[in-house]
Amino acid sequence: MRSVVVTGVSTGIGWGILKVLIQNGYRVFGSVRKAQDAERLTKEFGETFVPLIFDITDEAGVQAAAQQVREQLNGETLFGLVNNAGIAVPAPLMHQSIEDF
Query: In the chain, what are the domain boundaries?
Result: 3-86
User: What is the per-residue pLDDT across 88-99, written as a single tens digit (0 to 9) for each?
Assistant: 778 888 888 887
Cα distances (Å, whole numbers) of residue 17 to 4, 9, 58, 76, 85: 10, 8, 23, 22, 12
Averaged pLDDT of the chain: 94
Q: pTM of the predicted model, to two decimals? A: 0.89
Contact indicator for 80, 17 with CB cutoff of 8 Å: no
Give the H or E element holding residue 59: helix 59-73
Q: Does the 3-86 domain belong in CATH 2.60.40.1930? A: no
User: What is the per-residue pLDDT across 20-48, written as a single tens digit (0 to 9) for each?
Assistant: 999 999 999 999 999 999 999 999 999 99
For residue 77, is pLDDT > 80? yes
Q: What is the mean pLDDT of residues 58-87?
A: 95
